[in-house]
A and B are shown apart, each in its own frame.
Chain A
């Protein structure tokens, strides 16, 4: 793998597998590529290769299951194990069912906001944080592509309160300590009319799940 993929590429096209060196293929959402590559590099996990589906699949959660299934079938013969680095991601249990059917494992949790914070901790505060809108590092960087434009706020800013009126705060779950990204996250909160909170989560349960892969 030469260099880090751009956020735009991860959003639109995903990431082809590295040159095959590992025994385990991580089949991930493009929104998690940087975090997974950082973990791989920091821990020397050379037994894992990474491929990503386009992060924009999240705009159509009903397509996630089909695309993940297709990718598993495409790559599984080349690896000892395929591990799906998606949470439920709005599939209503369908992704877990597909993984079970195909005999592959996946990350636990309802979505990345939950596993970055730690699934248990996130669930514990779910009731208090019902009105929180979460952004991760990737989503802060890709705020326009994932939030502002798909919600039509670039063309119809008057829809903001219909779309976000029930939210009260934006929680930026920071995976890395980056002041520029924090500034951008704060600006995102301002644009949505929400109060701002930053929480340094690191990689949370994502690191735990990947560390367990042998």
Chain B
């Protein structure tokens, strides 16, 4: 099998075989192959946005589904994410030049007291892949980090992540502060993290609880289109 894979020369594959091969390579976390595939498609005249969505995001979506279904685990997802990141690094400077669609802007960070960032990083990467601009605040963020960045960046979405039962209540502190300051409705608030659930998201007053990165992307797109519709109607 390994021998067979070694025989695959990406540059010799036609587009309709290269893209599924890139999905497989992403699934297997093969960073160098992804970089090579991206460069080949660019040389063939593919638009950077098309490569991003059809080769990388589509491949990572398969990874996300298999993670959700318990077929893949954290290490495999991290390797796939590393490969996707490498591909995105090539595309990123080109996306701006080629007028890729901008979906919206999201400020994202792990809450105060919490240093876990794997889920947050995955969400940020998939959101970026879906055309959102991401302002990553990193880990251990007090309320002012979220609010200052959201105001400064004129963000559409505030995303909060927590892995610990002990730190997830801090999300409510952030939302309550937004309410106190009369700015809650200025932002879509999305929350996620292993110990969270739908009920918790509702109880703290978030707009949405995201079970995983794929859900986060779909939810963000949905909220943004509703926001645009409201603005158009208003």
Q: Which A residues form the contact surface with B (CB < 8 A)?
A: 60-61, 88, 90-94, 110-111, 123, 126-127, 130-131, 150-153, 155-156, 159, 162-163, 166-167
Minimal beta-carbon separation of A208 from chain B (angstroms):
20
Q: How far is the CA of A150 from the CA of B73 in the complex (A)?
A: 8
Q: How far is the CA of A9 from the CA of B178 in the complex (A)?
A: 50
A92-B165, A92-B195, A92-B200 known; A159+B75 contact, CB < 8 A = yes
Q: How far is the CA of A155 from the CA of B78 in the complex (A)?
A: 13
Minimal beta-carbon separation of A182 from chain B (angstroms):
25
B186 at the interface (CB under 8 A from A): no
Minimal beta-carbon separation of A175 from chain B (angstroms):
22
A163-B118, A166-B115, A167-B115 known; A90+B165 contact, CB < 8 A = yes
- Neighbouring B residues of A94 by C-beta, 8 Å: 197
- Neighbouring B residues of A167 by C-beta, 8 Å: 115
A159 touches which one: B70, B79, B197 (CB < 8 A)?
B79
B74 touches which one: A91, A123, A152, A155 (CB < 8 A)?
A152
B196 touches which one: A92, A110, A111 (CB < 8 A)?
A92
Q: How far is the CA of A150 from the CA of B74 in the complex (A)?
A: 8
- B61-84 interface (Cβ within 8 A of A): 70, 73-76, 78-79, 82
Contact A156 B140 (CB under 8 A): no
Minimal beta-carbon separation of A177 from chain B (angstroms):
29
Q: How far is the CA of A159 from the CA of B113 in the complex (A)?
A: 23
Interface string of B155-198 (1 = CB under 8 A from A): 00000000011101000000000000000000000000011110
- Neighbouring A residues of B74 by C-beta, 8 Å: 150-152, 163
Dominant SS among interface residues on chain B: loop
Contact B79 A126 (CB under 8 A): no
Known: A92-B165, A155-B75. 7 other contacts (CB 8 A): A110-B164, A110-B165, A126-B113, A130-B113, A152-B78, A153-B75, A156-B75
Minimal beta-carbon separation of A130 from chain B (angstroms):
6
In which size bucket is the chain B interface? 20 to 34
A152-B74, A155-B75, A162-B78 known; A126+B139 contact, CB < 8 A = no
Contact A152 B114 (CB under 8 A): no
B136 at the interface (CB under 8 A from A): no
Contact B78 A159 (CB under 8 A): yes
B24 at the interface (CB under 8 A from A): no
Interface string of B199-212 (1 = CB under 8 A from A): 01000000000000
Q: How far is the CA of A155 from the CA of B74 in the complex (A)?
A: 13
Q: How far is the CA of A162 from the CA of B125 in the complex (A)?
A: 15
Q: How far is the CA of A126 from the CA of B79 in the complex (A)?
A: 31
Q: How far is the CA of A167 from the CA of B207 in the complex (A)?
A: 31
- Neighbouring A residues of B70 by C-beta, 8 Å: 60
Contact A151 B166 (CB under 8 A): no
- Neighbouring A residues of B92 by C-beta, 8 Å: none
Q: How far is the CA of A175 from the CA of B134 in the complex (A)?
A: 44
A130 touches which one: B78, B114, B117 (CB < 8 A)?
B114
A92 touches which one: B73, B75, B139, B197 (CB < 8 A)?
B197
